């Protein structure tokens, strides 16, 4: 039993590592292309990958009976989340971008707290955000207020993506909802991408890199998450997910050679503590 749990934890860690490596590769590509083009290329390849993984053509006969309002809002949240996050990656160190984006789902969880003692997690979250900003040096190379605004906005849309995801789940179409959401996001953004930078989108020299990013950010994480969820409790899954900001900072350090200050490392630690605390409280609340 312990070995099974250990393997599930390994799946989760590998899933998050894969996603953060994809973000590092995306940032390298953003240095050549613009965030919109990189987002569209990734979403287009991700649509194909997810459709094949989940054999989503089997859902075609049910499309007419679906509640499209929730699906469209789910898709819009996903698209906005991706483009805002990639925009923030071009302006911030990867760890800071992910840390600020993580405030979105964390904030959604914090809204559910009812006991005064749990407000300690709110304090940790606010402290994390405050310490992430180099107030003493507004022109720091390690920070951009525009990038921070994009990362926080991406977090807001991440929270909306989770919220509408719960509503979409009620339609009982499983992971096909993800295929529809990614596909709609790609199709919606494609005209803007063609207007913005047609040569880059159609230049096949970038397709290979975009495919690698899509595999690392979509196919591998979703496959590993599905295997992990079969063996892990919600508590374990939520706690492990809280490691994302630290893994992002490590990926930025090792792949992109990005340096962040000790105070910013402590800020990421505060956000992770808040996330773990809320996860533990949520589990205790549901148990009775």
Contacts of 20 (CB under 8 A, 6+ apart): 94, 98, 244, 247, 248, 250, 251
Residue 106's SS3 state is: helix
Domains held by the chain: number: 1
Could you tell me the end-to-end alpha-carbon distance of the chain, in angstroms, rounded to an integer? 25
pLDDT tens profile 130-181: 888 777 665 566 788 899 999 999 999 998 988 888 888 777 777 788 888 9
Contact of 201 with 41, CB cutoff 8 Å:
yes
**Proportion of the chain in helix, strand, coil states, percent, rounded to 5:** 80, 0, 20
Q: Which two tokens stand for residue 215?
A: 């595999």
- Our measurement of the distance from residue 143's CA atom to the centroid of its chain's CA atoms, rounded to an integer in Å, reads 20
| Per-residue pLDDT at 177 | 84
CA–CA separation, 203 and 34 (whole Å): 14
**Domain extent at residue 223:** 1-285
At residue 44 the predicted structure's pLDDT band, cuts being 50, 70 and 90, is: very high
29 or 288, higher pLDDT:
29
| Per-residue pLDDT at 288 | 44
40 or 102, higher pLDDT:
40
pLDDT tens profile 221-254: 888 887 887 777 766 777 788 888 999 999 999 9
pTM: predicted TM-score of the whole model, two decimal places? 0.87
| Per-residue pLDDT at 57 | 85
Mean pLDDT of the chain: 86
Burial of 175 (0-12, 13-18, 19+ CB in 10 A): middle
CA–CA separation, 229 and 9 (whole Å): 10
């Amino acid at each position: 039993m312990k070995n099974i749990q250990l393997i599930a934890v390994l799946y989760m860690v590998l899933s998050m590592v894969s996603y953060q490596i994809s973000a590092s590769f995306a940032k390298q590509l953003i240095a050549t292309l613009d965030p919109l083009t990189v987002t569209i290329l990734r979403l287009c390849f991700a649509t194909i990958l997810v459709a094949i993984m989940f054999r989503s053509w089997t859902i075609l006969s049910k499309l007419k009976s679906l509640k499209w309002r929730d699906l469209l809002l789910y898709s819009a949240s996903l698209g906005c989340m991706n483009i805002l996050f990639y925009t923030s990656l071009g302006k911030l160190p990867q760890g800071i971008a992910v840390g600020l984006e993580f405030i979105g789902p964390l904030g959604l969880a914090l809204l559910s707290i009812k006991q005064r003692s749990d407000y300690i997690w709110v304090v940790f979250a606010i402290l994390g955000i405050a310490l992430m900003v180099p107030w003493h040096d507004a022109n720091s190379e390690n920070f951009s207020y525009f990038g921070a605004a994009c990362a926080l906005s991406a977090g807001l849309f991440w929270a909306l993506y989770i919220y509408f995801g719960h509503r979409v789940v009620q339609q009982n179409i499983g992971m096909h909802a993800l295929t529809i959401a990614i596909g709609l996001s790609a199709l919606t953004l494609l005209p803007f991408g063609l207007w913005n930078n047609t040569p880059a989108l159609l230049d096949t020299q970038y397709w290979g890199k975009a495919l690698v990013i899509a595999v690392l950010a979509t196919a591998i994480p979703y496959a590993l998450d599905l295997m992990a969820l079969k063996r892990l409790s919600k508590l374990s899954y939520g706690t492990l997910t809280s490691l994302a900001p630290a893994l992002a900072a490590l990926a930025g350090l090792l792949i992109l050679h990005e340096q962040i200050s000790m105070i910013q490392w402590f800020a990421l630690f505060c956000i992770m503590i808040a996330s773990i605390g809320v996860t533990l409280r949520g589990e205790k609340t549901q148990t009775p």
